[in-house]
Amino acid sequence: MGAYQDVFTASLADSSAFWAEAATAVDWTRKPQRILDDSRPPFYRWFPDGELNTCANALDRHVEAGRGEQAALIYDSPVTGIRRTYSYAELLEETARCAGALRALGVERGDRVVIYMPMIPEAVISMLACARLGAVHSVVFGGFAPNELAVRIDDVRPKLIITASCGIEPSRVIEYLPMIEDAIGLATHPPMHCVVVQRNGYHRDIARGRDVDWAEMMAEASPVDPVPVAATDPLYVLYTSGTTGKPKGIVRDNGGHAVALQWTMRHIYDISPGDVFWAASDVGWVVGHSYIVYGPLLAGATTVLYEGKPVGTPDPGAFWRMINDYSINALFTAPTALRVIRKEDPDANHLAGWDLSSLRNLFVAGERLDPDTYHWAVEHLQIPVIDHWWQTETGWAIAANPMGLQEFPVKPGSPTKPMPGYDVQILTEDGTESEPGREGAICIKLPMPPGTLATLWDADDRYVSSYLSEHPGYYLTGDGGRIDEDGYLFVMGRTDDVINVAGHRLSTGAIEEVLATHPSVAECAVIGVPDAIKGQAARGLVVLKAGADDEDLVTDLVKMVRDEIGAVAAFRLVDVVPALPKTRSGKILRKTLRGIAAGRDEPMPSTIEDASVLAALRAILTRG
């Protein structure tokens, strides 16, 4: 057998022994004697008697090992023209002082802190400082609208919020403080303090007393040592869309997270201490948590924080300039970024003049990598292009081509094979395991490996009902797919009402709730439709009330979604339709509509109430 098969088999045959060995790569203040607590299924906990500090593993131990002068964090901001490199020693000093400042504001072990930040170093420092104190951070993407932020504030009940005066885009400035103010006004459990990073040239008035200036706070702060926490204590809560429209707070623990990410950096991404790793994502998403902040630093690598775009800052050569300037060894991005670059520069003319010889691998995830984009990237970069598949819930790859373990031939459209620790099965509707090649629900046999979600924040019952109840003994990924005769996994798309827009998961139900509040809308449906750049886009179908006027309706609905959900929804497609197709029991045929919009020849459901309604919708959806 090859290296992969030996390791994969060992990980499932004796998972405790496998992860006990992996855990030796982490520094513990109390080494775990028990590896897996399986006494309360389906709630499994890894390293239950272990104790450690994630920040100490990411920073302190590298400095103590004599590598304090190595670059830890490279910040590059083409939107502001600022570049800065922090050594491990410098990043540790800033983080320890930030932790001291937060403690002075009342933050202690177990408290929650919401971070609502652009892609600036203070965002990384804030996350690490929370980890240093044993506080639980919850990062909210800076583009989220006030009501979405307020929902998260009320769910996690933070002691304080850390934010910035604004976010800076190539063509606009996003004012954060008015959104923060609106969110706090909407929240039932407002925070005690709001710490504000005043960006150079973009100083804003703050509410003295409640609000604290970051620079002033840091100037008065004293550094603090890392606080040991239980391996099972939460490191962070990260919200992801649920089908009901209510976000789900994914809980990531400290011990399993550190062990799993340390393992992945070496075995999946082939990254060693001193290598340069760039995840071109945002700290508001799980990729930013796992592979901008924690994974590379746990591994002793150099991580890159980029405040820019694939194109427009200034051109489609932005990524290639970054690789050239910082000798990047591995790039991790979303297929959308590659599609945008390809659209602007189909012949890759902007590659000319840049030295990409340092780049060993290109990793993509967050959405399906279509074969055309895969072949374009391989042709022009002449390096392995690795599709891999994971979720906010899992925190790291369910399936990948493990470049530090064994490289497999690529099958375009497949993220290759399940990773060690993941017992992936394709289940039929009755819960039996499918034979190779047959499609079904992609499920993972319990227990899942370390680093995956422990539960949902303050919602154990919802964790079980959302993920573990449909097929007892299995985690339901919400995606359908198949495994071929060679063991390659093919992910065919969501089986629920969550869509993937440029790697961002959005609830169609949440968008429907917004549309339904318009006084002219009688009923509506939102489905995910294919999009050449973003993978999927949300498309709204609305039925008007009798006598309602549709003039300016589309403009109004688009603005409402932008205001309520945020610009991240990228909502633009709305059709006014005479009726929505339903079953005789009144259920809208969303699955059938999704299939038609995707170009599939969907059969007429036997349960349909009025076939003529579906025929009319078919004409609308297939005309683009």
Torsion of CA 321, 325, 328, 334, to 10 degrees: -30
Its pTM stands at 0.85
Ramachandran region, residue 437 (left: φ > 0; alpha: ψ -120 to 50; beta: rest): left
Structure tokens given for 474: 């299995």
- 51: number of Cβ within 10 Å: 18
| Cα four-point dihedral sign 333, 139, 257, 500 | negative
- Tell me the helices (H) and strands (E) count for the chain, helix number first: 20, 32
* 332 vs 187: CA distance, rounded Å: 36
Topology (CATH) of 498-622: GMP Synthetase; Chain A, domain 3 (3.30.300)
d(CA 512, CA 500): 16
CB atoms closer than 10 angstroms to residue 583: 14
Residue 272 has a CB neighbour count (10 Å cut-off) of 13
Average pLDDT of adjacent 10-residue blocks, the chain of 624 residues? 88 98 98 98 97 98 98 98 98 98 98 97 98 98 88 96 95 94 96 96 90 97 98 96 76 98 98 98 95 98 97 96 98 90 93 97 88 92 96 97 96 94 94 87 97 97 95 93 94 72 73 85 84 85 81 88 81 85 65 78 60 74 69
pLDDT at 603: 66
- CA–CA gap between residue 340 and residue 531 (Å, rounded): 12
Q: Is the peptide bond prior to 314 cis by the omega test (within 30 degrees of 0)?
A: yes
What are the boundaries of each domain within the chain? 89-227, 498-622
CA dihedral 105, 107, 111, 115 (to 10 degrees): 70
Classify residue 320 as left (phi > 0), alpha (psi -120 to 50) or beta.
Answer: alpha
For residue 363, count CB atoms less than 10 angstroms from its CB and return exposed for 0-12, middle for 13-18, buried for 19 or more. buried
Burial-class residue 434 by CB neighbours within 10 Å (0-12, 13-18, 19+): middle
CATH C-level class of 89-227: alpha beta
- Degrees, nearest 5: CA angle 564-566-571: 95
pLDDT of 592: 79
Tokens 């549709």 label which residue?
550
Give the C-alpha separation, 203 to 247, whole Å. 32
Predicted pLDDT at 588: 73
Q: Which two tokens stand for residue 18?
A: 């496998």
Residue 182: other Cβ atoms inside 10 A? 15
**In Å, how far are 236, 357, 370, 543 from 477, measured between CA atoms?**
21, 37, 21, 33
267 token code pair: 């075995």
pLDDT at 585: 47
Element (H, E) at 273: none
> So what's the pLDDT on residue 246?
77
